[in-house]
Amino acid sequence: MLLAITREISPTLADCQLEHLEREPIDVSRARAQHRGYRDALRELGAQVISLPAAVDCPDGVFVEDPAIVLDEIAIVTRMGNLVRRAESESLARAVAEYRGLKRIVDPGTLEGGDVMRVDRTLYVGLSRRTNREGIGQLAEIVAPYGYEVAAVPVTGCLHLKSAVCYLGDNKVLANRNWIDAAALSKFEIVDVPEERGANVLRLGDTVLIPAAFPETAQTLRAAGFKTREIDTSELLKAEAGVTCMSLLLAGPDSPPE
């Protein structure tokens, strides 16, 4: 069983950290309804959803992908590059510890889970404003005994690597080449995203979950042979949310390793 750890939306969501967007008013009630729709979609696509209570003092707490990376064998508690967000880590670490042993990124390393794209036994890690070379080096040392390799990918135009590129399966990635060093993805067939912010998608089973705000991207994916499931995330997008960042996916105890 695939598990999806999520966290309820904080009433302070409107105070979230922003890097690339101008701040707009966020309707928190509507955002909560959209997050329920997101969790429903995860269930429909085969995941067992674990919903943690809101971290009231953490506006960005709903973005559970960033404080931890979960592999088949272990989980890595990250040291987030955004100082304000580090308060999110321990409560999420306690939830993850029920399923995996924990390792940690330590000072002076920084690493955020949104910068990590796993493809089989390779972790592509964005070198970004939130993730530094020391953090990438520590990650490589932690995962090497388990047979993983780490490849750094310079990120220039967006918050995290997975804001610019996500793995679709079948040796394909959906990417905005303008935001990353695309040379690092030379082994993949690149599906170019037609909408600047549309590259963050989540494949579950045979379906690609995508925000309804990016209809041209959904059409491009269908033309490339993928089934899509669109969901409304309009309020969450104002907080620079993506469909990957609002859940932490891990294989449950009855699931075979990838």
108-156 pLDDT tens trace: 999 999 999 999 999 999 999 999 999 999 999 999 999 999 999 999 9
Q: Supply 13's token pair.
A: 């969501």
C-alpha–C-alpha distance, residues 175 and 182, integer Å: 8
Q: What local confidence, expressed as pLDDT, does residue 252 receive? A: 82
| Reported pTM | 0.95
Residue 187 vs residues 152, 164, 170, 202, 208: alpha-carbon distances, Å? 14, 17, 12, 20, 21
Establish whether 20 is a catalytic residue. Answer: no
Q: Which of 35, 58, 158, 160 is catalytic?
A: 160
Q: Which of 58, 158, 166, 245 is catalytic?
A: 245
The answer to whether the CB of 177 falls within 8 A of the CB of 150 is no
Burial 239-256 (b: 16+ CB within 10 A, else e): bbbbbbbbbbbbbeeeee
Which sequence spans correspond to the domains of the chain? 2-251
**Closest Cα partner for 88 from 111, 109, 67, 102?**
67
C-alpha–C-alpha distance, residues 150 and 71, integer Å: 13
Q: What local confidence, expressed as pLDDT, does residue 20 receive? A: 85
* Segments of the chain scoring below 70 in pLDDT: 254-258
C-alpha–C-alpha distance, residues 208 and 59, integer Å: 27
C-alpha–C-alpha distance, residues 158 and 255, integer Å: 34
C-alpha–C-alpha distance, residues 122 and 116, integer Å: 10
DSSP helix, strand, coil percent of the chain (3-state; round to 5) = 30, 30, 45
- In the chain, the amino acid numbered 246 is M
Q: What local confidence, expressed as pLDDT, does residue 257 receive? A: 47
Q: What is the DSSP string of 137-170?
A: HHHHHHHGGGT-EEEEEEB-SSSSHHHHEEEEET
**CA end-to-end distance (rounded Å), the chain:** 12
CA atoms within 13 A on the CB side of 224: 24
Q: What is the DSSP string of 13-81?
A: GGG---SSS------HHHHHHHHHHHHHHHHHTTEEEEEEPP-TT-TTTT-TTTTEEE-SSEEEE---S
Establish whether 158 is a catalytic residue. Answer: no
Q: Is 35 exposed, middle or buried (0-12, 13-18, 19+ CB in 10 A)?
A: buried
Fold of 2-251: L-arginine/glycine Amidinotransferase; Chain A (3.75.10)
